[in-house]
Amino acid sequence: MSRDGGIVTVTLDHPERMNVLDLEGWETLGEIFEGLAGDDSVRCV
């Protein structure tokens, strides 16, 4: 995850797995989005 002002970029980088998300990956992604949802300075993900 990187941030530039109000823009947050979430990058999936597991080309050997073709960026497949398992249950743990979905849960982690959900936690990231939940955290960002509570941040009023984030304008775009």
User: Tokens at residue 7, please?
Assistant: 């823009």
| pTM of the predicted protein model | 0.77
Q: Is residue 9 part of a domain?
A: yes
* CA-based R_g, the chain, Å: 12
Q: Is residue 45 part of a domain?
A: no
Residues of the domain holding 6: 2-37
Return the amino acid letter for 45: V
- Number of domains making up the chain: 1
pLDDT tens, position by position, 10-23: 999 988 988 899 99
- Ranges of beta strands (E only) in the chain are 2-4, 7-9
% of the chain exceeding 90 in pLDDT: 84
Q: Is residue 27 part of a domain?
A: yes
Q: Is residue 30 part of a domain?
A: yes
Q: Is residue 23 part of a domain?
A: yes
Q: Is residue 44 part of a domain?
A: no
Q: Is residue 42 part of a domain?
A: no
Task: Evaluate if residue 42 carries a pLDDT over 90.
Answer: yes
For the chain, count helices (H), then strands (E). 1, 2
Task: Evaluate if residue 5 carries a pLDDT over 90.
Answer: yes
Residue 33: the pLDDT is 96
What's the average model confidence in pLDDT over 22-34? 95
